[in-house]
Structure 1
Amino acid sequence: MSDFDWDGSDVVLEHQPKTAVYTNDRGQVVIRQEAGSLDPEDVWVYFDAANALSLCKAILEAAGHDDIEFVRNCGGLSYEDIEIPERRARRSPAEQVEQMKAARPDVDWDKASADFDKLAAKTAPKDPTAAERKRRQRERERDTRDTTPLAPVTSVTSAVTPQPAPRDAWLFNEEAKESALAR
Protein backbone atom coordinates (compact mmCIF):
# COMPACT_ATOMS: atom_id res chain seq x y z
CA MET A 1 0.00 0.00 0.00
CA SER A 2 1.33 3.43 -0.94
CA ASP A 3 1.62 6.30 1.55
CA PHE A 4 1.28 8.88 -1.26
CA ASP A 5 -1.99 10.79 -1.85
CA TRP A 6 -2.82 10.10 -5.49
CA ASP A 7 -5.80 12.48 -5.36
CA GLY A 8 -3.62 15.48 -4.35
CA SER A 9 -2.56 18.54 -6.34
CA ASP A 10 0.86 17.04 -7.27
CA VAL A 11 -0.80 14.65 -9.73
CA VAL A 12 -0.42 15.99 -13.28
CA LEU A 13 -1.55 13.02 -15.43
CA GLU A 14 -4.73 11.08 -14.75
CA HIS A 15 -5.49 8.93 -17.81
CA GLN A 16 -2.42 6.73 -17.49
CA PRO A 17 -0.92 5.70 -14.17
CA LYS A 18 -1.22 8.78 -12.04
CA THR A 19 2.00 10.82 -12.13
CA ALA A 20 3.09 13.40 -9.57
CA VAL A 21 5.88 16.00 -9.66
CA TYR A 22 7.29 17.49 -6.45
CA THR A 23 10.56 18.30 -4.68
CA ASN A 24 12.01 16.10 -1.96
CA ASP A 25 13.95 17.07 1.19
CA ARG A 26 17.23 17.23 -0.76
CA GLY A 27 15.87 19.77 -3.25
CA GLN A 28 15.67 17.22 -6.06
CA VAL A 29 12.74 17.16 -8.42
CA VAL A 30 10.83 13.87 -8.15
CA ILE A 31 8.58 12.37 -10.77
CA ARG A 32 6.54 9.64 -9.13
CA GLN A 33 4.17 7.27 -10.86
CA GLU A 34 1.52 5.24 -9.07
CA ALA A 35 2.03 1.49 -9.01
CA GLY A 36 -0.11 -0.46 -11.45
CA SER A 37 -2.02 -3.59 -10.55
CA LEU A 38 1.01 -5.77 -11.40
CA ASP A 39 3.68 -3.48 -9.92
CA PRO A 40 4.81 -4.01 -6.32
CA GLU A 41 5.36 -0.30 -5.62
CA ASP A 42 5.41 3.20 -7.10
CA VAL A 43 8.11 4.24 -9.57
CA TRP A 44 10.29 7.29 -8.81
CA VAL A 45 12.65 9.36 -10.98
CA TYR A 46 14.93 11.85 -9.21
CA PHE A 47 16.99 14.62 -10.78
CA ASP A 48 18.63 17.83 -9.64
CA ALA A 49 16.63 21.01 -10.09
CA ALA A 50 19.49 22.48 -12.16
CA ASN A 51 18.75 19.88 -14.84
CA ALA A 52 15.00 20.52 -14.99
CA LEU A 53 15.04 22.65 -18.15
CA SER A 54 17.28 20.22 -20.04
CA LEU A 55 15.02 17.34 -19.04
CA CYS A 56 11.89 19.25 -20.06
CA LYS A 57 13.43 20.10 -23.42
CA ALA A 58 14.42 16.44 -23.98
CA ILE A 59 10.89 15.29 -23.10
CA LEU A 60 9.36 17.85 -25.47
CA GLU A 61 11.75 16.86 -28.28
CA ALA A 62 10.94 13.18 -27.76
CA ALA A 63 7.24 14.04 -27.94
CA GLY A 64 7.77 15.90 -31.24
CA HIS A 65 7.49 19.45 -29.85
CA ASP A 66 10.88 20.77 -31.04
CA ASP A 67 9.44 24.22 -31.77
CA ILE A 68 8.65 25.16 -28.17
CA GLU A 69 10.95 27.78 -26.67
CA PHE A 70 11.47 28.61 -23.02
CA VAL A 71 11.09 32.20 -21.77
CA ARG A 72 11.40 33.84 -18.36
CA ASN A 73 9.28 36.69 -17.00
CA CYS A 74 11.58 39.58 -16.12
CA GLY A 75 8.87 41.59 -14.39
CA GLY A 76 5.93 43.41 -15.85
CA LEU A 77 5.41 42.66 -19.51
CA SER A 78 9.02 41.86 -20.39
CA TYR A 79 10.31 38.38 -21.07
CA GLU A 80 13.68 36.94 -22.01
CA ASP A 81 14.59 33.74 -23.82
CA ILE A 82 16.17 30.97 -21.82
CA GLU A 83 19.06 29.35 -23.62
CA ILE A 84 19.31 25.63 -22.98
CA PRO A 85 22.53 23.98 -24.08
CA GLU A 86 22.16 21.48 -26.89
CA ARG A 87 22.48 17.86 -25.94
CA ARG A 88 25.70 16.28 -27.07
CA ALA A 89 25.29 13.67 -29.73
CA ARG A 90 26.81 10.29 -29.03
CA ARG A 91 30.19 9.83 -30.61
CA SER A 92 31.27 6.75 -32.48
CA PRO A 93 34.02 4.60 -30.92
CA ALA A 94 36.47 5.86 -33.56
CA GLU A 95 35.69 9.48 -32.61
CA GLN A 96 36.14 8.62 -28.92
CA VAL A 97 39.56 7.09 -29.65
CA GLU A 98 40.63 10.17 -31.61
CA GLN A 99 39.50 12.45 -28.78
CA MET A 100 41.41 10.32 -26.25
CA LYS A 101 44.56 10.48 -28.39
CA ALA A 102 44.22 14.25 -28.74
CA ALA A 103 43.77 14.63 -24.96
CA ARG A 104 46.95 12.65 -24.18
CA PRO A 105 49.69 13.73 -26.62
CA ASP A 106 52.31 12.46 -24.12
CA VAL A 107 51.39 8.82 -24.82
CA ASP A 108 53.05 6.90 -27.67
CA TRP A 109 49.80 5.49 -29.06
CA ASP A 110 51.49 3.25 -31.66
CA LYS A 111 53.54 1.52 -28.95
CA ALA A 112 50.50 1.27 -26.65
CA SER A 113 48.50 -0.29 -29.47
CA ALA A 114 51.28 -2.81 -30.20
CA ASP A 115 51.52 -3.71 -26.50
CA PHE A 116 47.78 -4.21 -26.37
CA ASP A 117 47.86 -6.46 -29.43
CA LYS A 118 50.61 -8.60 -27.81
CA LEU A 119 48.56 -8.94 -24.63
CA ALA A 120 45.44 -9.84 -26.60
CA ALA A 121 47.40 -12.51 -28.51
CA LYS A 122 48.64 -14.06 -25.24
CA THR A 123 45.20 -14.22 -23.65
CA ALA A 124 43.33 -15.38 -26.75
CA PRO A 125 42.55 -19.10 -26.91
CA LYS A 126 45.24 -20.94 -28.84
CA ASP A 127 42.79 -23.14 -30.64
CA PRO A 128 39.06 -22.39 -30.76
CA THR A 129 38.33 -26.11 -31.14
CA ALA A 130 40.37 -27.15 -28.09
CA ALA A 131 37.26 -27.55 -25.95
CA GLU A 132 35.68 -29.77 -28.58
CA ARG A 133 38.82 -31.93 -28.79
CA LYS A 134 38.91 -32.29 -25.00
CA ARG A 135 35.24 -33.32 -24.97
CA ARG A 136 35.92 -36.05 -27.58
CA GLN A 137 38.95 -37.26 -25.58
CA ARG A 138 36.85 -37.59 -22.43
CA GLU A 139 34.18 -39.52 -24.35
CA ARG A 140 36.81 -41.96 -25.65
CA GLU A 141 38.21 -42.46 -22.15
CA ARG A 142 34.73 -43.03 -20.76
CA ASP A 143 33.90 -45.52 -23.52
CA THR A 144 37.09 -47.54 -22.99
CA ARG A 145 36.64 -47.51 -19.22
CA ASP A 146 33.07 -48.83 -19.54
CA THR A 147 34.07 -51.71 -21.82
CA THR A 148 36.83 -53.03 -19.52
CA PRO A 149 35.82 -56.60 -18.56
CA LEU A 150 34.95 -57.24 -14.94
CA ALA A 151 37.27 -59.28 -12.74
CA PRO A 152 36.47 -63.02 -12.88
CA VAL A 153 34.30 -64.45 -10.14
CA THR A 154 36.33 -66.93 -8.07
CA SER A 155 33.74 -68.17 -5.60
CA VAL A 156 30.03 -68.36 -5.09
CA THR A 157 28.45 -67.13 -1.89
CA SER A 158 24.96 -67.42 -0.55
CA ALA A 159 22.60 -64.71 -1.64
CA VAL A 160 21.56 -64.19 1.98
CA THR A 161 24.34 -63.89 4.50
CA PRO A 162 23.25 -64.83 8.01
CA GLN A 163 23.47 -61.93 10.44
CA PRO A 164 24.46 -62.40 14.07
CA ALA A 165 21.56 -62.01 16.50
CA PRO A 166 21.34 -58.65 18.22
CA ARG A 167 22.35 -58.51 21.86
CA ASP A 168 18.81 -57.74 22.99
CA ALA A 169 17.16 -60.54 21.00
CA TRP A 170 15.55 -61.93 24.16
CA LEU A 171 13.28 -58.84 24.27
CA PHE A 172 11.56 -60.00 21.14
CA ASN A 173 11.06 -63.53 22.37
CA GLU A 174 7.33 -64.31 22.62
CA GLU A 175 7.72 -65.97 26.01
CA ALA A 176 9.40 -62.90 27.44
CA LYS A 177 6.60 -60.71 26.10
CA GLU A 178 3.91 -62.86 27.66
CA SER A 179 5.64 -63.04 31.02
CA ALA A 180 6.10 -59.29 31.02
CA LEU A 181 2.38 -58.76 30.34
CA ALA A 182 1.39 -61.23 33.06
CA ARG A 183 3.23 -59.30 35.78
Structure 2
Amino acid sequence: MDYIRIGDKIVSLSKITSVINEIMEYRCKGYSQQETARILDIDRTFISRLESIGEVRKGGNIAVIGFPIKNKLELYERLKEEGIEYILLMTEEERNDFIKDKGGEELVNDIFKITSEVRKYQHCIIIGSRMRTKLLADLLDSHVYTINIGESPLKNDVYVEPDEVIKIIKTINA
Protein backbone atom coordinates (compact mmCIF):
# COMPACT_ATOMS: atom_id res chain seq x y z
CA MET A 1 0.00 0.00 0.00
CA ASP A 2 1.70 3.17 -1.22
CA TYR A 3 -0.84 5.69 0.11
CA ILE A 4 -1.99 5.96 3.68
CA ARG A 5 -4.41 8.31 5.38
CA ILE A 6 -3.27 10.17 8.48
CA GLY A 7 -6.10 12.37 9.68
CA ASP A 8 -6.94 14.73 6.82
CA LYS A 9 -3.71 13.95 4.94
CA ILE A 10 -2.96 11.36 2.30
CA VAL A 11 0.72 10.37 2.50
CA SER A 12 2.77 8.62 -0.18
CA LEU A 13 5.16 6.10 1.35
CA SER A 14 7.12 5.84 -1.91
CA LYS A 15 7.70 9.62 -1.93
CA ILE A 16 9.04 9.46 1.63
CA THR A 17 11.32 6.56 0.68
CA SER A 18 12.51 8.39 -2.42
CA VAL A 19 13.47 11.52 -0.45
CA ILE A 20 15.22 9.48 2.24
CA ASN A 21 17.20 7.66 -0.46
CA GLU A 22 18.21 10.99 -2.01
CA ILE A 23 19.35 12.29 1.38
CA MET A 24 21.46 9.19 1.98
CA GLU A 25 22.97 9.35 -1.54
CA TYR A 26 24.14 12.94 -1.00
CA ARG A 27 25.47 12.13 2.49
CA CYS A 28 27.36 9.06 1.20
CA LYS A 29 28.92 11.19 -1.53
CA GLY A 30 30.37 13.46 1.16
CA TYR A 31 27.89 16.32 1.15
CA SER A 32 27.34 17.86 4.59
CA GLN A 33 23.94 17.83 6.24
CA GLN A 34 23.64 21.57 5.51
CA GLU A 35 24.53 21.15 1.82
CA THR A 36 22.11 18.25 1.44
CA ALA A 37 19.34 20.21 3.16
CA ARG A 38 19.90 23.21 0.87
CA ILE A 39 19.89 21.05 -2.32
CA LEU A 40 16.71 19.18 -1.34
CA ASP A 41 15.03 22.19 0.31
CA ILE A 42 14.49 20.45 3.64
CA ASP A 43 15.49 21.26 7.21
CA ARG A 44 19.02 20.20 8.23
CA THR A 45 17.78 19.00 11.63
CA PHE A 46 15.52 16.52 9.81
CA ILE A 47 18.62 14.95 8.24
CA SER A 48 20.34 14.82 11.61
CA ARG A 49 17.34 13.14 13.23
CA LEU A 50 16.97 10.73 10.33
CA GLU A 51 20.61 9.67 10.65
CA SER A 52 20.18 9.26 14.41
CA ILE A 53 17.17 6.99 13.91
CA GLY A 54 19.11 4.75 11.54
CA GLU A 55 22.44 4.82 13.36
CA VAL A 56 23.55 1.31 14.23
CA ARG A 57 26.48 2.33 16.43
CA LYS A 58 27.57 5.42 18.23
CA GLY A 59 31.00 5.96 19.51
CA GLY A 60 34.30 5.68 17.78
CA ASN A 61 35.97 3.03 15.81
CA ILE A 62 38.27 1.47 18.42
CA ALA A 63 38.12 0.96 22.18
CA VAL A 64 41.03 -0.38 24.24
CA ILE A 65 40.65 -2.14 27.61
CA GLY A 66 43.54 -3.57 29.58
CA PHE A 67 44.60 -4.70 33.04
CA PRO A 68 46.88 -5.08 34.96
CA ILE A 69 49.15 -2.76 32.96
CA LYS A 70 52.56 -1.77 34.35
CA ASN A 71 53.19 1.01 31.81
CA LYS A 72 49.64 2.34 31.86
CA LEU A 73 50.55 6.03 31.35
CA GLU A 74 52.98 5.32 28.50
CA LEU A 75 50.42 3.14 26.73
CA TYR A 76 47.62 5.64 27.38
CA GLU A 77 49.64 8.46 25.76
CA ARG A 78 50.45 6.35 22.70
CA LEU A 79 46.77 5.39 22.32
CA LYS A 80 45.72 9.04 22.54
CA GLU A 81 48.28 9.91 19.85
CA GLU A 82 46.60 7.30 17.63
CA GLY A 83 43.21 8.95 18.18
CA ILE A 84 41.69 6.22 20.33
CA GLU A 85 38.65 7.70 22.08
CA TYR A 86 37.77 5.01 24.61
CA ILE A 87 40.64 3.82 26.77
CA LEU A 88 40.23 1.87 30.01
CA LEU A 89 43.58 0.80 31.41
CA MET A 90 44.19 -0.18 35.02
CA THR A 91 47.09 -1.25 37.15
CA GLU A 92 46.53 -4.17 39.53
CA GLU A 93 46.14 -1.69 42.40
CA GLU A 94 43.50 0.30 40.48
CA ARG A 95 41.66 -2.87 39.55
CA ASN A 96 41.57 -3.96 43.19
CA ASP A 97 40.40 -0.48 44.26
CA PHE A 98 37.66 -0.60 41.62
CA ILE A 99 36.33 -3.81 43.19
CA LYS A 100 37.16 -3.29 46.86
CA ASP A 101 34.67 -0.68 48.04
CA LYS A 102 31.68 -1.77 45.97
CA GLY A 103 28.81 -4.01 46.89
CA GLY A 104 27.81 -6.77 44.48
CA GLU A 105 24.97 -4.82 42.88
CA GLU A 106 27.07 -1.69 42.36
CA LEU A 107 29.95 -3.72 40.89
CA VAL A 108 27.65 -5.54 38.47
CA ASN A 109 26.02 -2.25 37.42
CA ASP A 110 29.43 -0.64 36.81
CA ILE A 111 30.59 -3.61 34.73
CA PHE A 112 27.36 -3.49 32.69
CA LYS A 113 27.84 0.26 32.09
CA ILE A 114 31.40 -0.28 30.86
CA THR A 115 30.31 -3.21 28.66
CA SER A 116 27.45 -1.16 27.22
CA GLU A 117 29.80 1.72 26.39
CA VAL A 118 32.44 -0.50 24.78
CA ARG A 119 29.81 -2.33 22.69
CA LYS A 120 29.23 0.96 20.82
CA TYR A 121 32.65 0.67 19.21
CA GLN A 122 33.28 -1.29 16.03
CA HIS A 123 36.54 -2.76 17.30
CA CYS A 124 37.88 -3.52 20.74
CA ILE A 125 41.41 -4.40 21.77
CA ILE A 126 41.49 -6.30 25.05
CA ILE A 127 44.72 -6.69 27.00
CA GLY A 128 44.76 -9.08 29.93
CA SER A 129 45.01 -12.65 31.11
CA ARG A 130 43.95 -15.39 28.71
CA MET A 131 40.79 -16.13 30.72
CA ARG A 132 39.74 -12.47 31.08
CA THR A 133 40.30 -11.64 27.40
CA LYS A 134 38.17 -14.64 26.39
CA LEU A 135 35.36 -13.63 28.77
CA LEU A 136 35.36 -10.03 27.56
CA ALA A 137 35.53 -11.06 23.91
CA ASP A 138 32.45 -13.24 24.41
CA LEU A 139 30.53 -10.31 25.95
CA LEU A 140 31.26 -7.74 23.28
CA ASP A 141 29.42 -7.22 20.03
CA SER A 142 32.39 -6.00 18.02
CA HIS A 143 35.51 -7.15 16.30
CA VAL A 144 37.70 -8.15 19.23
CA TYR A 145 41.47 -8.35 19.20
CA THR A 146 43.14 -9.85 22.24
CA ILE A 147 46.60 -9.46 23.67
CA ASN A 148 47.20 -12.13 26.27
CA ILE A 149 49.73 -11.06 28.89
CA GLY A 150 49.66 -14.16 31.08
CA GLU A 151 47.57 -16.84 32.69
CA SER A 152 44.89 -16.09 35.28
CA PRO A 153 45.05 -14.97 37.93
CA LEU A 154 47.47 -12.13 37.21
CA LYS A 155 48.56 -10.61 40.53
CA ASN A 156 51.23 -8.19 39.27
CA ASP A 157 51.31 -5.44 36.67
CA VAL A 158 52.63 -6.55 33.28
CA TYR A 159 54.55 -4.40 30.81
CA VAL A 160 52.73 -4.15 27.49
CA GLU A 161 54.74 -3.27 24.42
CA PRO A 162 52.96 -0.16 23.00
CA ASP A 163 54.14 -0.92 19.47
CA GLU A 164 52.29 -4.26 19.59
CA VAL A 165 49.02 -2.46 20.35
CA ILE A 166 49.69 0.29 17.80
CA LYS A 167 50.35 -2.39 15.15
CA ILE A 168 46.84 -3.78 15.71
CA ILE A 169 45.35 -0.27 15.52
CA LYS A 170 47.13 0.43 12.24
CA THR A 171 45.90 -2.90 10.84
CA ILE A 172 42.31 -2.02 11.80
CA ASN A 173 42.60 1.47 10.30
CA ALA A 174 44.28 0.31 7.08
Q: Normalised by the shorter chain, which TM-score bucket?
A: under 0.3
Q: What's the TM-score once normalised by structure 2's chain length?
A: 0.19
Instruction: Select the structure that is richer in helix.
Output: 2
* Higher Rg of the two aligned structures: 1
Larger relative contact order (C-alpha < 8 A, sep ≥ 6)?
2
